[in-house]
Structure 1
């Protein structure tokens, strides 16, 4: 875990950023803080979807939703397998949220803008959701593209095939890329593939998420940990990466 007052941690054998030319970011709980209240809204919408589909009360639906999440990786995957749910219908419903809670993040936008090379979003959510959230944060224009759950053929992270499909689709050399992600288990495969890995954790525990999703675990597949993404990019990444060559 991060020590009190500690916002960044780097392992002794961490992969650095000097050779990185592609910067890959997860979306939910990575590019925005917990007080944006994006994920709690999505989570509540998923519970409501399960309630209506199965005719359950809120408590029973919540329990079933969490069972699906732990067994299949995402509730969507479970409902596609067990109920042949239309994934697009599910995603439209789950992501029908109030985006007014998301604040423009100028410091994050500036830090991402200054990263040399390509920037991509890799998410288990939908493209529309990612674009709307990134737009509210003021960072959408800095990204080349979004690789969403539909592009992954609805197979969620941390499935190895999803990362391989992403790398192939966008022509990314994993040994020259870095991935920023909020769930530790989602960094195992990327690290194995050669990516530099950064775990983004909340500054204070988020009551709307499970404990394992927020742990600042110091394991071999995690090179860096931060609870302040913008500051990490400004202080720990940008000072060690070469600037992009200027036009002649």
Structure 2
């Protein structure tokens, strides 16, 4: 008798990068966030407080700080991306258990990030999982349209010829799972109890353990454990089919 496995038939596994493939409590993204403020302060020659206000205002109105800089100040995106991703990765460690769990996922594994390919490769390489992925889709590939805007997902699906009904999407930001859910993907929210910034726009904050959403099929605060349990379950299903 077959076990009930909601991931049966999934052959494309899509992962956000920041605060998803590594734990949010290592505060790697805090460095990126701070460097965004400094970039704005120096490029626009404004005071620190105003730079911080602009950063969060653009994030709320445009989807990313970069989109705001491009739209309102014609900033070259590569200048911004290279600067904000020049960070210390020493708090991100090799994760052998996560590597093992991802390696057992059947089919393709893809990274979909609002950051850059270089940043994704640096971080995934530090974790020890980069070679397990079949591709990285970054903000440039999306023509600088970020998640959660629908055109970003449309470009991603077209770029990799993704069949949504056979795909699972892992994200730490609940709003970034709305479009995948509507497209027919299996959605997984990766939550964290890590403290966030007090000035983060309310609708842009990552969710915390205990919060649920109608467009999220599964919730976990332990990606490695979730994937390990999932792959073990998938193997059990295969054995029962033989």
Question: What TM-score does the superposition give when structure 1 sets the normalisation length?
Answer: 0.88
1:92-241 equivalences under 5 Å are: 92-202=82-192, 204-208=193-197, 210=200, 212=203, 213-216=205-208, 217-235=211-229, 237-241=230-234
User: What per-residue deviation string (whole Å, max 9, x for no partner) do you get for residues 102-144 of structure 1?
Assistant: 1111111111011111000000000000000000001101001
What are the residue-to-residue correspondences of 1:33-52 with 2, within 5 Å? 33-52=23-42
2:55 maps to what in 1?
Answer: 65
Instruction: State whether residues 36 and 103 of structure 1, in contact with CA within 8 Å, keep that contact through their aligned partners in structure 2.
Output: no
- Structure 2 CA distance for aligned equivalents of residues 170 and 100 of structure 1: 32
Alignment size in residue pairs: 229
* TM-score, length basis structure 2: 0.90
Q: Deviation per CA, 1:143-184: give whole Å up to 9, x if none.
A: 011000000000000111111111111111000000000100
Runs of 4+ in 1 over 4 A off after TM superposition: none
Aligned 8 A contact 2:25 2:194 in 1: no
SS at match of 2:90: helix
- Higher mean Cα deviation, 147-156 or 50-59? 50-59
- Match of residue 7 from structure 1: none
Distance in 1, matches of 2:196 and 2:145, equals 27
Q: State how far apart, in whole Å, the 1-side matches of 2:233 and 2:225 are.
A: 14
The 2-side partners of 1:140 and 1:218 are apart by: 30
Q: Could you tell which deviates more after superposition, 93-102 or 123-132?
A: 93-102
**Alignment partners' CA distance in 2, 1:161 and 1:16:** 27
**2-structure distance, mates of 1:19, 1:116:** 9
The alpha-carbon deviation at position 242 of structure 1 amounts to 5.1
Gaps of 5+ in 1: 1-14
The answer to whether the 8 Å contact 2:169/2:186 transfers is yes
The 3-state SS of whatever aligns with 2:178 is helix
Specify which structure has the bigger relative contact order, considering alpha-carbon pairs within 8 angstroms and separated by 6 or more residues.
Answer: 1
> CA–CA distance in 2 between the matches of 1:240 and 1:18?
10
Contact 2:172 2:207 in 1 (8 A): no
Partner Cα distance (1:59, 1:108) in 2: 39
Segments of structure 2 that go 5 or more residues without pairing to the other structure are none
Aligned partners of 1:17 and 1:240 also within 8 Å: no
